[in-house]
Amino acid sequence: MKAFFSSRLHSFRYAFHGWHHVLRTQRNAWIHSGIATAVFIVGLWLKIPPRDWAVIILTAALVFTAEFLNTSIEAVVDLVSPDHHPLAKIGKDVGAAAVLVSALAAIIIGLLLLGPPFWQKLTTLIPNP
């Protein structure tokens, strides 16, 4: 049983090393982190309901997962194909497209969930002339 828990602990350690690597080396991960933080702050300010939080959290997780997978694809492609190769380019481009698709979906979801309450809150804060 001790070996089981020890191996789980190592698995978490490896995962956090990967997370740290992505945040340390990928500029887009910083952009995703900044936008996610802003969205979470706005969600708290708007007091969105739990179901909306679930969708926001899943959406952010999707974007980060795509970024992590893209980073791992790029690393493996660089390892096996250090020279420029058309198939290596396709692999990297498709990985980047996955990140783009998830980020665009996140923007749309954010606008749908946060847009109406944000607009309503703004209209109550700005006095009518």
Catalytic residue annotation: 67
C-alpha closest to that of 66 among 107, 32, 111: 32
CA quadruple 36, 38, 41, 42: dihedral, nearest 10:
-110
Can you tell me the distance from the alpha carbon of 69 to that of 63, in angstroms, rounded to the nearest whole number? 10
Q: Alpha carbon of 68 to those of 52, 75, 101: distances in Å?
A: 24, 11, 14
CA atoms within 13 A on the CB side of 121: 12
Can you tell me the distance from the alpha carbon of 15 to that of 3, in angstroms, rounded to the nearest whole number? 18
